[in-house]
Amino acid sequence: MDEERDTAAATPPTTDPVREGLDILAGAVERYRPVKVFALFSGGHDSLCSTHLASRSPRFDGCVHIDTGIGIEQTRAFVRDTCERHGWPLREYRPPMSYEEIVLRWGFPGPAGHSLVYGRLKERCLRQLVRENKSGRRDRVLLVSGIRRQESRRRMGYVEPVQADGARVWVAPLLNWSHEDKHAYLDAHRLPRNPVVEKLCMSGECLCGAFARKGELDEIAFWYPEAAARIRALEARAAEAGVPCRWGQPPDTAKRTAPAPTVGLCWSCGIKKAGEDDG
Ligand code: SF4
């Protein structure tokens, strides 16, 4: 039954967001009895809260960060420093095929190219994570994310706090948190915020460009010129290779109606894009 998908609507009857988050997590652990519990720590404010919350569980096994090879290095440094300061074990995964290799082969992705990029950059890392931690056929690995309903429900449809997908169990303990709840938690626990988020309004740990906003690369260039220079250099190489060669600009032939991702590791980019489309 590894490929079975099921959903547990387990929102507990409480209005304390922190208690509720802890209960969602504890409920998922109790129900699925995972072999491991990992927090997916991108470096954004949401994932900082969900990671800190997960670290309060006696079942917490550490953090997972996927280094897609294209992103703001200062965020990666923030993730490493934060994990070290809290004593959280950190596992970093890199995809077997680099972002550069993908771009030079297929061009820069737009929304229609996102599933290819997601599959190559993130899905393969998740598969590796599960492979390394699962020995029995029924073993489950619990993945804690920082997804919040306030954004995702309005723009992208309903999301459940606990979703089992084969060997993976996705848990969203902050699902009902507001923006204010998030900042109250960061303040209450004196958690330093990632300065990249303060500047760019996103963690920037991953910059595939599939859901880039208008002018996003210029903003990145203003604050983090090395990251932007790397993308510009890759644009030049992509042009030489004869593939779609502008970051954040889908080729004319691409369908712009590709669905934005709602769960998993790209939900925040989906929200960003949906917000721009809302206008
Ligand atoms: S959509 Fe966002 S999170 Fe997903 S691969 Fe692209 S940049 Fe990374």
Q: Give per-residue pLDDT as tens, 40-72.
A: 999 999 999 999 999 999 999 999 999 999 999
Quote the number of domains for the chain. Answer: 1
C-alpha atoms less than 13 angstroms from C-alpha of 241 in its C-beta half-sphere:
19
Q: What is the CATH number of the domain that holds 112?
A: 3.40.50.620
**Ligand 1: nearest atom to the Cα of 121:** 5
Share of the chain residues as helix, strand and coil, in percent rounded to the nearest 5: 50, 10, 40
**Beta strand 5-8 pairing with 90-93:** unpaired
Its pTM stands at 0.88
Determine the pLDDT at residue 1.
Answer: 37
Answer whether 258 contacts ligand 1 (Cβ < 6 A): no
Q: State the helix-helix crossing angle for 45-55 and 17-32, rounded to 10 degrees.
A: 60
Q: Give per-residue pLDDT as tens, 133-190.
A: 999 999 999 999 999 987 655 445 557 899 999 999 999 999 999 999 999 999 999 9
Q: Give per-residue pLDDT as tens, 79-119.
A: 999 999 999 999 999 999 999 999 999 999 988 888 899 99
Answer whether 29 contacts ligand 1 (Cβ < 6 A): no
d(CA 143, CA 34): 10
Task: Give me the domain span that covers residue 63.
Answer: 5-278
Indicate which residue's Cα is closest to atom 4 of ligand 1. 266
171: its two tokens: 């848990």
Residue the block writes with tokens 């994570």 = 129
180: its two tokens: 């204010």
Q: If you measure from the C-alpha of residue 64 to the centroid of ligand 1, how many angstroms do you get, rounded to a whole number?
A: 16
Nearest to 29 by CA among 136, 143, 137, 185: 143
Nearest to 107 by CA among 206, 249, 225: 249
Q: Is 75 within 8 Å of 199 (Cβ atoms)?
A: no
Answer whether 269 contacts ligand 1 (Cβ < 6 A): yes
210: its two tokens: 């599939």
Q: Is 98 within 8 Å of 69 (Cβ atoms)?
A: yes
Indicate which residue's Cα is closest to atom 8 of ligand 1. 206
Q: Is 183 within 8 Å of 46 (Cβ atoms)?
A: no
Q: Which residues contact 106 (CB under 8 A, 6 or more apart)?
A: 113, 116, 243, 244
Most informative mutation of 46, 98, 118, 213 for ligand 1 (most atoms within 8 A of CB): 118
Question: H-helix or E-strand containing 32?
Answer: helix 17-32
Answer whether 148 contacts ligand 1 (Cβ < 6 A): no
Three-state SS for 96?
A: coil
Determine the pLDDT at residue 151.
Answer: 65
Q: Give per-residue pLDDT as tens, 196-206.
A: 999 999 999 99
Answer whether 18 contacts ligand 1 (Cβ < 6 A): no
Q: If you measure from the C-alpha of residue 53 to the centroid of ligand 1, how many angstroms do you get, rounded to a whole number?
A: 24
Q: If you measure from the C-alpha of residue 210 to the centroid of ligand 1, how many angstroms do you get, rounded to a whole number?
A: 7
